[in-house]
Amino acid sequence: MRNATFSKILACAAALIVVSTASLAGAATLYRWVDEEGVVHISENPPEGRLNVAQAVVREDARKDAKAGPSTEKKEFRVRPAEVTIYTTPTCPWCHKAKAWFRDKRVRYREIDVTSDRSGLDEMVKISGQTGVPVIVVGDEVIVGFNLNRLQEIFKQ
């Protein structure tokens, strides 16, 4: 999953380079790379000793036109999976803990209450092979139970 995301990032960065090289006069260069923790970095200086660094060109006039905002220094973005689904029941304490963790980390999720949604229960059993809750699906990964260590690893919190 991480390799596919990294490949998509590199493909987008390469496309950005191709499009922006048409106007190199008065341009500044930004460097973008993903570290071993999955964090995307953007800075005006290339990282030392890194492979797979994407280079993008930014027109100076675009910088001047931009509204004043956050600093243009190095920025970090967390790569997060696109879709999270949690299969729950109303009386499950581990389900409540998982949902609270997602809310605290501002992770959007879709909740399916398997006590009131028979097709949701069938879907959960098909995906996980389990009838117990919570079952958490993050992208293509299925987590049975509230596994905090695994969630922290996935979301790099």
Q: State residue 130's pLDDT score.
A: 86
For the chain, list the domains and their CATH numbers: 2-78 (no CATH), 84-155 (3.40.30.10)
Q: What is the structure's pLDDT at 88?
A: 93
* Amino acid present at 137: V
Task: Quick: pLDDT tens for 83-135.
Answer: 899 999 999 999 999 999 999 988 889 999 999 888 999 999 999 998 899 99
Q: Report d(CA 134, CA 114) in Å as an integer.
A: 10
Per-residue confidence band for 15, with pLDDT thresholds at 50, 70 and 90: very low
Nearest Cα neighbor of 25 from 57, 3, 51, 56 is 57
Phi, psi of 72 (to 5 degrees): -90, 10
Range 51-69 average pLDDT: 51
Cβ(110)–Cβ(99) below 8 Å: no
CA 39 to CA 16: how far, in whole Å? Answer: 19
